Amino acid sequence: MSIKRKARTVAAALIVGGVSAFSTQAASAATPACGPTCLSVFSSELGTYATPNFVEHVFGGRARVGTPTGLTTASSSDPSEDFINPHPGTVADYYALGLVSAAVDRQFGTLTASQLEYTPDGIPSGLCVGIATEPYPGEAVSLQSCTIPGRTVWIIDTADSPATASAGLFPIVSGATRDFAHPFTMTYPRHVDTAAMLPPIRLFHMEFRGPERTVPETQLWGVAKGPQ
């Protein structure tokens, strides 16, 4: 079995509806009102499934197009951290919905994909984590209408980091990427000051380091499920 096929098998086994199976035993964020399907995205640079520490949130809790998302201290009482996946499935499923291109489907079709709809206190906003334009290096991740094709879909790219897939850690690739050799992926700055307000999540081309083509921790993420 090829490495990429093994990675896809791991993804199918570990991730159901875009959520790692590790999340059922891990501490997470999200309010009780958001419910058991609420998702908490954390950076492997700053946390683990046992202790996510910092999770994705909407700055100021503002449900408005263009509001950036970043990381903040995990809390079960902060509704700005509440997200759900309204369409669990694969990239191929999102292609069938008209939300990713045929090229993205050909490249990633069997991998798990997700939208992250902002649902503060369990109330759907119709806004999803996305990007405002075609991806470019340094573009900030922000809330966009969930109906925008490509720009609000995220791919759980275990195939490009098989060594970390078994731990439930993976790159999260923009469904709008057109570069498949180094796809645009969620990236967090290295050595941030966690005592200050943390910066937005941004897109950069995926990095591969050394002969083993390892992906750096700044581009590896985990997803925990449910409130604490």
Question: What are the tens digits of pLDDT across the range 35-66?
Answer: 999 999 999 999 999 999 999 999 999 999 99
pLDDT tens column, 80-105: 999 999 999 999 999 999 999 999 99
Per-residue pLDDT at 139: 98
Q: How far is CA 27 from CA 46, 106, 122, 140, in A?
A: 14, 35, 19, 27
Q: Are 79 and 31 a contacting pair, CB within 8 Å?
A: yes
Closest among 135, 164, 162, 138 to 148, alpha carbons compared: 135
Give the pLDDT of residue 228: 53
In the chain, where are the structural domains located?
3-225
What pLDDT shows up at residue 10? 43
Query: DSSP state, 74?
Result: -
DSSP string, 189-224: -SS--TTSPPPBPEEEEPP-BTTTTBPPGGG-EEEE
Give the per-residue pLDDT at 206: 98
Q: Return the pLDDT at 6.
A: 45
Pick from 4-13, 30-39, 164-173: least confident: 4-13
At 175-218, the pLDDT tens digits run: 999 999 999 999 999 989 999 999 999 999 999 998 889 999 99
Q: Residue 23 has what pLDDT?
A: 42
User: What pLDDT is stored for residue 49 in this prediction?
Assistant: 93
Nearest to 201 by CA among 84, 101, 64, 54: 54
- Regarding the domain delimited by 3-225, which CATH topology (the fold level of the hierarchy) does it fall under? Trefoil (Acidic Fibroblast Growth Factor, subunit A) (2.80.10)
Nearest in space to 91 (alpha carbons), one of 36, 153, 29, 39: 153
* pTM for this predicted structure: 0.89
**pLDDT confidence of residue 19:** 46
Nearest to 40 by CA among 50, 32, 30: 30
| Mean pLDDT value across residues 1-27 | 43
> How far is the CA of 58 from the CAs of 82, 129, 142, 226, in angstroms?
9, 9, 8, 17
Q: What type of residue is 60? A: G
pLDDT of 28 over the 90 cut:
no
Q: Is the pLDDT of residue 148 over 60?
A: yes
